[in-house]
Amino acid sequence: MNIRPKLLIFDVNETLLNMEPLKNSINESLKDERAFDIWFPTLLQYSLVETITKNYKDFSEIAESTLKMTAHQLDVSLTAAQIKSVLSPITKLSAYPEVSNTLEVLKEKGFKLVALSNGKPQVVDEQLKYAKIHHLFDKVLSIEEVKNYKPHVSTYHCAYSLMNVLPEDTMLIAAHGWDIAGAKRAGIQAAFIARPGKSLYPLALKPDITGSNLNEITTLLLAL
């Protein structure tokens, strides 16, 4: 039987924030509607290359490098300045419609709320402030604390340790199967937001809670 967690760790991009403006920017600039869907998994892949090979480059640098790779794959030439411009919408993403109100409810109910992102700390701060939800978090964390990218288990361990909460009292909320897999293997609870196009990794432990949006996750959480 699940126990109600005390600490909720939120992934940011695609979990809380809608990446459609960035998707449009990349697809239009690379003149291919597949471009974003090629680039984003490549970004995640090479962030894990850094972690697995015990190296570290910040997420923005990897994002720019993998966009250059994607452009080359699609036979498009972009300058360094153009790449930065194409990626600039990352700090101008709106929260999904239900996010702000549900975060307020969870905070009022006494949950500790933490945002945990692979992004650079200053980028994550800017994102959450633009989306008008930064003030709802008790702490905003980046993997720069450990210099390993999610879903490395050390990222989740770091988050609950910094908040002085036990792993069994911690839950990750994310819209990515790889993030859910990492959280479960780190020994914490997990809630999967099944946003359109998102799916779970079949070989991983199942999430404790699943809902189509944060409203549904919140309802299930409050029932624990």
Domain boundary among the residues 44, 60, 90 is at 90
Q: Is the pTM of this model over 0.85?
A: yes
- The span from the CA of 140 to the CA of 133, in Å, is 11
Q: Do 161 and 183 sit in the same domain of this protein?
A: yes
Q: Do 128 and 189 sit in the same domain of this protein?
A: yes
- Per-residue tokens: 190: 């997990």
Reported as a pLDDT band with limits 50, 70 and 90, residue 1 is low
Does residue 47 sit within a domain? yes
Omega cis (within 30) before 151: yes
Q: Whose CA is closest to 123, among 50, 214, 58? A: 58
Q: Dump pLDDT digits (tens) for 168-191.
A: 999 999 999 999 999 999 999 999
Residue 51 confidence (pLDDT) above 90: yes
CB 99 within 8 A of CB 16: yes
- Please give the torsion angle defined by the CA atoms of residues 72, 93, 24 and 35, in that order, rounded to the nearest 10 degrees: 30
CB 178 within 8 A of CB 205: no
CATH code, domain with 169: 3.40.50.1000
CB 173 within 8 A of CB 11: yes
* Total number of domains in the chain: 2
Q: Do 183 and 124 sit in the same domain of this protein?
A: yes
Of all residues in the chain, the percent with pLDDT exceeding 70 is 100
Please classify residue 157 by burial: count the beta carbons closer than 10 Å to its beta carbon, then call 0-12 exposed, 13-18 middle and 19+ buried.
middle
Q: Do 13 and 106 sit in the same domain of this protein?
A: yes
CB 170 within 8 A of CB 9: yes
Does residue 2 sit within a domain? no
Domain boundary among the residues 61, 90, 119 is at 90
Full residue range of the structural domain in which residue 192 is found: 7-18+93-222
Q: Whose CA is closest to 224, among 169, 161, 165, 177? A: 169
Does residue 60 sit within a domain? yes
Q: Do 29 and 85 sit in the same domain of this protein?
A: yes
Q: Do 206 and 147 sit in the same domain of this protein?
A: yes
Q: Do 162 and 174 sit in the same domain of this protein?
A: yes
Q: Dump pLDDT digits (tens) for 118-160.
A: 999 999 999 999 999 999 999 999 999 899 999 999 999 999 9
Q: Dump pLDDT digits (tens) for 125-135.
A: 999 999 999 99
Domain boundary among the residues 69, 90, 111 is at 90
